[in-house]
Amino acid sequence: MLSGSKFLRLLGVLLAFVLLAAACGDDDSDGAVATEEGADAESDTSADPDTDTDAEADAGEEPEVPEEPAIDPADIDNTDTTTKPTVLVPDRDAPDELVITDIVEGEGTAIGEGDFAIMQYVGITYSTGEQFDASWDRGSSFNFVIGEGNVIEGWDEGIPGMMPGGRRELIIPPDMAYGEAGSGSGAIGPNETLIFTVDLIGFIPADRTQPEVSIPDAPATELGITDIIVGEGLVIEEGSTAVVHYVGASQASGEIFDASWGRGLDQFIGLIVGEGQVIEGWDQGLIGMAVGGQRELVIPADLAYGEAGAGDGVIAPNDTIVFVIDLIAVIPPPEELPVLDTAEIDPEDAEAETEPDVESDPAETEPEETE
């Protein structure tokens, strides 16, 4: 199982194989600004034997760069939310008020003020059509609380009402963006209208916090599934990618041994259900859960850590364990997913990334005891 940021970086890799991008980490800047050409292109001064004189006359002149053909808006289909959208400037004057257009509506409960949003986006300037920032290019999501002024006003007002899996275009006038000053980096000029295409991967409701866990009086002999909150969004099926928060407890000790919530709202985790990335109780117990839901899994030892236990005794041999899981987002399984050649990923690069310590995720490693 992967941490939020590592998970979304992996999704960025899988996107090349038609899965999804998404991780995670707050981004306070106005983004990765496309750099301008730092130097003029060098002219080719090698003379053709038949055109020596012309070559010498043209020496020092910059070669003409052919213009890229214009993109026909009719050729653009931004309804595939597993790929980075193409953002174009409309053929009309910039509006003086916020314009909201839903490209894909999403499913489930709508996000509102105070909720913790997990987003992807692309932004361009209206005057030039040039991209100034895109979370897709960084391979990480952009996360923030709606309505707290952590983002420009056009986002705080333009994102509420979106549903998980939704994609929306925002055309934001200067007074709801960076105004007369422009952005600090200079990527966005004074009085610039902005166009964003934003994707809501999922969100954590403002009233959702780490849940309590009920400990059964006796060990379980079969998997117990109880929906505490029934979600209204996309439903997990085998092969779906699930984004979750969780808390886990031991029946034998009655103590919580791990909780992603305790590491922060942005420390959600991701897994592909049914791929053996987690204990069998999770692979079986998550099927049928809908986004926005909260589910209790009471998992017998044979679907958990068995006779060996885990965590140096934190989970005892033959221990029943209880998880309460909150489902933040679901990415449906692709129709056909090519094999990812992990040999192409440099382990030294992976080690170099600064990641939170999530060795207690209930899958690849044993849990750590929490107070």
- The full DSSP string for 105-174 is --SSSPP-TT-EEEEEEEEEETTT--EEEEHHHHT--EEEETTSSSS-HHHHHHSTT--TT-EEEEEE-G
User: 66 in a domain, yes or no?
Assistant: no
pLDDT (mean) for 33-52: 32
- What is the reported pLDDT for 93? 95
Least confident of 62-76, 138-152, 334-348, 354-368: 354-368
pLDDT value of position 184: 80
Residues 198 and 264 in one domain: no
Residue 43 forms part of a structural domain: no
Residue 142 a catalytic site member: no
Please give the pLDDT value at position 20: 34
> What are the tens digits of pLDDT across the range 146-205?
999 999 999 999 999 999 999 999 999 999 999 999 988 888 999 999 999 999 999 999
Q: Any catalytic annotation for residue 132?
A: yes
Least confident of 41-45, 73-77, 139-143, 345-349: 41-45
Active-site residue identified among 115, 133, 266, 319: 133
What pLDDT does 62 receive? 63
Flag whether 20 is in a domain.
no
Residue whose entry in the numeric block shows the structure tokens 């008020």:
97
> What are the two backbone dihedrals, phi and then psi, of residue 133, each rounded to the nearest 5 degrees?
-170, 150
Cα 297 to its chain centre, rounded Å, is 26
Same domain, yes or no, for 232 and 200? no
Same domain, 264 and 308: yes
Residues 243 and 323 in one domain: yes
Q: What are the Cα distances from residue 30, in Å, to 37, 186, 271, 306?
A: 20, 10, 30, 49
* Residue 208 confidence (pLDDT) above 70: yes
Q: What pLDDT digit, counting tens, does each position of 15-32 carry?
A: 332 233 333 334 444 442
Consecutive H or E run containing 198: strand 194-204
- Do residue 162 and residue 231 come from a single domain? no
Residue 247 sits in which domain range?
Answer: 224-352
Between 138 and 364, the more confident residue is 138
| Residue 39 belongs to some domain of the structure | no
- The answer, yes or no, to whether residue 289 has pLDDT greater than 70, is yes
The total of other beta-carbon atoms located within 10 Å of residue 204's CB is 22
- Reply yes or no on whether 152 is catalytic: yes
Q: Is 196 a catalytic residue?
A: yes
- Which of 121, 144, 305, 323 is an active site residue? 121
Residue in 7, 116, 126, 196 annotated catalytic: 196
Q: Sign (positive/negative) of CA torsion 307, 310, 316, 320?
A: negative
Select the more confidently predicted residue: 71 or 18: 71
Catalytic residue among 146, 152, 171, 325: 152
Q: Which residues pair with 329 in a beta bridge?
A: 243
Question: Which residue would you say has higher pLDDT here, 49 or 281?
Answer: 281
Same domain for 250 and 131, yes or no, is no
Q: What is the DSSP letter of 319?
A: -
Model pTM? Answer: 0.72
DSSP assignment letter at 14: H
Radius of gyration of the chain (CA): 25
- The pLDDT tens digits of the residues spanning 238-274 come to 999 999 999 999 999 999 999 999 999 999 999 999 9
Q: What is the pLDDT of residue 311?
A: 84
Residue 192 lies in a domain: yes
Q: Which of 132, 142, 246, 268 is catalytic?
A: 132
Structure tokens at 251: 């029946």
Residue 126 appears among annotated catalytic residues: no
Q: Is residue 216 part of a domain?
A: no
Q: What is the mean pLDDT of residues 307-323?
A: 92
Q: 144, 178, 305, 323: which one is catalytic?
A: 178
Assess if residue 283 is contained within a domain. Answer: yes
Count of domains forming the chain: 2
Q: How many whole angstroms separate alpha carbon 83 and alpha carbon 222?
A: 40
Is residue 6 assigned to a domain?
no
Among 281, 279, 292, 196, smallest CA distance to 236 is for 292
pLDDT above 90 coverage of the chain, percent: 64
